[in-house]
Amino acid sequence: MDYAKKLLIIYGIIWAALAINPVYPGSWLLENYLVFIFVPFIIWTYYKFRLSNISYTCIFFFMVLHAVGAHYTYAEVPFGFWLQEMFSFSRNHFDRIVHFSFGLLIAYPIREVFMRVASSKGVWGYYLPVELTLAFSAIYEIVEWGAAVVVDPHAGTAFLGSQGDIWDAQKDMLLAGIGASMSMLITFFVNKKYKKDFVSDLKESIKDKGGPLGEVAIWKMRKQKK
């Protein structure tokens, strides 16, 4: 049995254990709708587009954190209360940890996909994963808001986990962006140390390779059509 399959089995055991008697069943179900889509998708891509063990490890740890948050709701995870008491925080910050971890752990798999599918190199191999991570984070905040509107108020409030902070969504997205930036900085310095053509790759990635588009491209297409 290979590494990725072992991670899947371990995750399945953890998820099943945390699916027993969640604190708020309605909120747990809302938190897991995306899991019901994402996990089968990852399994399907394993046979069609296998990622590296590093990427699968990053995904595994994020999914475990999410499973813990879904069981207790993010605002009531015991570890967050421990941190709150230890450092005299005004709220349970476990949700902040998970949003930061989303950027830190998911940006690298995104980079791998960009490099293998879109051939993103140099500067773009570090910038685009941060941008897409922020986009995913914003989409999730919109989904959270929509779910909170359409479901019953109690489950919706638990699902949001804003704990009275009107800027909760913006702070969550900021932390995801910081996490993704840190992930790409680590990747940047690892490549800088070990990749022979590192500097030339960066320079080549920002060269103009096609000239102006817009009306120029439209005019060329019209001429070719004639």
pLDDT digits (tens, 9 = 90+) for 182-211: 999 999 999 999 998 899 999 988 888 888
How many distinct structural domains can be found in the chain?
1
Indicate whether 22 pLDDT > 90: yes
- List CB contacts of 77: < 8 A, sequence separation 6 or more: 68, 69, 92, 94
Domain of 129?
3-225
Give the pLDDT band (50/70/90) at residue 19: very high
Q: Looking at the predicted structure, is the pLDDT value of residue 98 above 90?
A: yes
- For 25-84, write each residue's pLDDT tens digit: 888 888 898 899 999 999 999 999 999 999 999 999 999 999 999 999 888 899 988 988
pTM here is 0.87
| Percentage of the chain lying above the pLDDT 70 cut | 91
Q: What single string gives the DSSP state of each residue in 2-45? A: -HHHHHHHHHHHHHHHHTSS-SSHHHHHHHHHHHHHHHHHHHHH
Helix-helix angle 3-18:25-48, to 10 degrees: 170
Segment 90-115 shows an average pLDDT of: 93
Burial 118-154 (b: 16+ CB within 10 A, else e): eebebebbbbbbbebbbebbbebbeebeebbeebeee
Over residues 118-134, the pLDDT tens digits come to 888 899 999 999 999 99
The contacts of residue 113 (CB under 8 Å, 6+ apart) are 49, 51
Judged on CB neighbours under 10 Å (0-12, 13-18, 19+), 178 is: middle
